[in-house]
Structure 1
Amino acid sequence: MPVIQVSLIRGYSGELKQRLCKQLTDAVRHSIAADPDGITVLLHEVEPDAYMRGGRPRTPGGASDDEAVGEAPADVVRSFLEAMEARDMPRAERLLDEDFTMTFPGGVEMTRLEELVVWAGERYRFVRKRIDAFDTCDEGDYVTVVCHGELHGEWPDGTPFAGVRFIDRFELRHGRLLRQQVWNDLALARS
């Protein structure tokens, strides 16, 4: 079974090291038909004064930007969706990339959360999501997170609805939401 050995300059957080081990395990699983229990990841740490490159001492690099935000990509998406449901726009906006865009059924594109609130207000009083799963995929400079589940809420006249399927696809850049694409069956449920 595969054994991966990584050398790090001492100084990274335990949380970051655990996440690195998990992501390395996942990378092997996606490349080799290996049982996760058979994949070993070993992190070796060296003291900063025991390491040189180019004849000069080095210090550990900074954490990835998604750790700087403080959350793994799926947690960023979950925080965003929770903030939107609570209509906590300042919290939601802190998670957005400056080039954020969103696309909703019917090809409706928006770049500001205020636009979404106005647009959605004509369609329903409120909507909540029951999320069944998050799937995360690293794509070089971007991380894609897809979540799916069911919507429930109330139409503008107060009539409740439930069991409406949805899929949200998010792209994150440097730990911030760059793009959201939404698919759901609200139009079918309303008819």
Structure 2
Amino acid sequence: MPVVQVSLIQGYSSALKQQLCERLTEAVSASIAADPDAITIFLHEVTADGYMRGGRSRQPGSARAVPEEPLQTAPESLVRDFLAAMEARELERASSLLADDFVMRFPGSPPMTRLTELVEWARGRYRHVGKRIHALDCCDKGDYTVVVCHGELHGEWPDGTPFDGVRFIDRFELRDGKLARQEVWNDLALASP
């Protein structure tokens, strides 16, 4: 049964401490294959005047913003919301989830920065496409979060013929609560008539 103990200077929010405990649990579980229910995390807090480094009192470092929704699902929810808006062609709603420097790349496409570019590029490839999501995997990389989404595409070719069961993988990078990058891989070229 792994036990992790962390000392923090007082001043961090309950939400941030909860996020830290969840991420430490995930890191231990991934590193030593321990069941998360068997992992114990203790956070010990010390007062700022009870801590010194280099002979000087220190203040806690600034915390990143913590989303108000459940912590483990915030990045996945953002990706699901974006994909649902795109499938419904609600481009304004989908655009509101993008960072100012957002870039996306699809098989055979140049890098695109606006959703209208994607819609125009895809116009001759299919009439409609939807995604059946099998799984979303999330990984924090420090200053950004990666969400990998995979499943199957379904829809209609330009002539109206339906297609289904086409594999896809989308890799998203999220920074500051917005989608910054989308890389897409799929088997549409292999499935086309």
Q: Is the 8 A contact 1:8 1:43 kept in 2?
A: no
- Which residue in 2 is equivalent to 1:82? 84
Q: Is the 8 A contact 1:69 1:175 kept in 2?
A: no
Identity of aligned residues (%): 61
- Which residue in 2 is equivalent to 1:149? 151
Distance 1:136 1:93 in 2: 21
Structure 1 pair 187–38 and aligned structure 2 pair: CA distance change class (3 A): same
Structure 1 pair 149–8 and aligned structure 2 pair: CA distance change class (3 A): farther
Tell me the secondary structure at the aligned position of residue 67 of structure 1: coil
Q: 2:132 aligns with which of 130, 133, 138?
A: 130
Displacement of 1:113 in angstroms is 0.5
TM-score of the aligned structures, taking structure 1 as reference length: 0.82
Greater relative contact order structure (CA < 8 Å, 6+ sep): 1
Q: Is the 8 A contact 1:125 1:156 kept in 2?
A: yes
- Which residue in 2 is equivalent to 1:38? 38
Question: Counterpart amino acid of 1:148?
Answer: H
Question: Counterpart amino acid of 1:138?
Answer: D
> Structure 2: which 5+ residue stretches go unaligned?
none
Q: Is the 8 A contact 2:12 2:63 kept in 1?
A: no
Question: Counterpart amino acid of 2:186?
Answer: N
Question: Counterpart amino acid of 1:134?
Answer: L
Q: Is the 8 A contact 2:48 2:57 kept in 1?
A: no
Size of the aligned set, in residue pairs, is 185
**RMSD of Structure 2 on Structure 1 (CA):** 2.7
- Which residue in 2 is equivalent to 1:12? 13
Displacement of 1:102 in angstroms is 0.5
Distance 1:80 1:59 in 2: 35
Distance 2:157 2:174 in 1: 31
Distance 1:13 1:92 in 2: 31
Q: What do the CA deviations read for 1:53-94 (whole angstroms, capped 9, x no partner)?
A: 7668x7895552x62799621111111111111111222112
Tell me the secondary structure at the aligned position of residue 111 of structure 2: strand
Distance 1:103 1:159 in 2: 26
Question: Counterpart amino acid of 1:189?
Answer: A
Q: Is the 8 A contact 1:125 1:153 kept in 2?
A: yes
> Structure 1: which 5+ residue stretches go unaligned?
none
Displacement of 1:18 in angstroms is 4.0
Q: Tell whether 2:25 aligns with 1:25.
A: yes
Distance 1:86 1:160 in 2: 18
Q: Tell whether 2:185 aligns with 1:187.
A: no
